[in-house]
Amino acid sequence: MRIAIIGTGNVGRAIALGMADKGHEVMLGSRDPQSAHVVTLATDTGATPMLPDAAAAAGDVIFLALPWRAAESAVKALGSLEGKAVVNCMLPLGMIDGTLGLTVGYATSGGEIVQGWLPGAHVVETLGQVSAEIMARNDHLSRRPVMFMAGNDDGAKTQVAALLTDLGFEALDTGDITKSRLLEPYGMVWLNQALVRGKGRNWAFAAVEG
Ligand SMILES: NC(=O)c1ccc[n+]([C@@H]2O[C@H](COP(=O)([O-])OP(=O)(O)OC[C@H]3O[C@@H](n4cnc5c(N)ncnc54)[C@H](OP(=O)(O)O)[C@@H]3O)[C@@H](O)[C@H]2O)c1
């Protein structure tokens, strides 16, 4: 698959590392494709650095790995992305009464807002319930981690599930994009355990069956 990763911070880097040697053509969409950290990441992963709109145009599947505060203008600048699978890794985070939390919820979600910015694209919400470190590598964990997805288009979810499998996750479909309302608070469960309760970043949720 041709994969575009928009944003080369913790999550963009992790997905690029996780996708290296999986047989995909990966484009890194960066505001500064010549910057040292982007060039190093490209060398380490075999990905091609580009400006964000060029990367998105070249990709079949586009991962959005941007800060929520910058997302609206950055995502709209990518163009319509008509018919493409767009993976929303972003949690709609902000400070609420001095505490990090979700700035939207209950009646909408970050996933639905991104779908509204890109009406012709097939947005799939996923990867918000784990650390970037575990996205990059998780074969040391005692169980295979689970990763939930939500989105309106079954074909896009099939594509994204295959990529989640490449990243080492068990992909589970939760339903349409409104299920992002469930997944984003679930991401906060991870954040609370990791950052507030002291569990750290080297763990993930697993689904076990009997
Ligand atoms: N960090 C985690 O463990 C984790 C886990 C799950 C979900 N998430 C979510 O994933 C998203 C990305 O997180 P992150 O930790 O990768 O963030 P980050 O390290 O801050 O990286 C974000 C990247 O977005 C790009 N960008 C574009 N416009 C920007 C702007 N105006 N200001 C700053 N950066 C801009 C930058 O790449 P270029 O300079 O190359 O353009 C930057 O490196 C967030 O929405 C977060 O909620 C994070």
pLDDT, position 124 = 99
Pairing of strands 48-50, 61-64: unpaired
Which of 37, 41, 51, 66 to mutate to test ligand 1, by most ligand atoms within 8 A of the CB atom? 66
Q: What is the mean pLDDT of residues 121-141?
A: 98
Q: What is the CA(210)–ligand 1 centre distance, in A?
A: 38
Atom 48 of ligand 1, residue of closest alpha carbon: 11
The residues pairing with 88 across neighbouring beta strands, listed in sequence order, are: 64, 125
Residue type, 197: R
Who lines ligand 1 at CB under 6 A? 7-12, 30-32, 38, 65-68, 70, 74, 89-91, 93, 127-128, 131-132
Q: For the chain, which residues make up each domain, given as ranges?
A: 2-196
Looking from the CA of residue 90, the nearest atom of ligand 1 is 45
CB-count burial class (<10 Å; 0-12, 13-18, 19+) for 156: buried
Q: What is the CA(107)–ligand 1 centre distance, in A?
A: 25
Q: Which CATH superfamily is domain 2-196 in?
A: NAD(P)-binding Rossmann-like Domain (3.40.50.720)
Atom 9 of ligand 1, residue of closest alpha carbon: 90
Q: What is the CA(26)–ligand 1 centre distance, in A?
A: 18
Atom 25 of ligand 1, residue of closest alpha carbon: 7
CB-count burial class (<10 Å; 0-12, 13-18, 19+) for 176: middle
Q: For the full predicted model, state whether its pTM sits above 0.95.
A: yes
**How do residues 163-192 score in pLDDT, each as one tens digit?**
999 999 999 999 999 999 999 999 999 999
Which of 11, 149, 205 to mutate to test ligand 1, by most ligand atoms within 8 A of the CB atom? 11
pLDDT, position 166 = 98
Q: Write phi, then psi, for 119 (nearest 5 degrees).
A: -60, -25
- How far apart (Å, rounded) are the C-alpha atoms in residues 198 and 52? 35
Q: What sections of the chain are H helices per DSSP?
A: 10-19, 36-45, 52-58, 68-76, 110-117, 132-136, 154-166, 180-191
Atom 45 of ligand 1, residue of closest alpha carbon: 90
**How do residues 12-70 score in pLDDT, each as one tens digit?**
999 999 999 899 999 999 999 999 999 999 999 999 999 999 999 999 999 999 999 99
**How do residues 25-36 score in pLDDT, each as one tens digit?**
999 999 999 999
**How do residues 149-171 score in pLDDT, each as one tens digit?**
999 999 999 999 999 999 999 99
Which of 5, 6, 10 to mutate to test ligand 1, by most ligand atoms within 8 A of the CB atom? 10
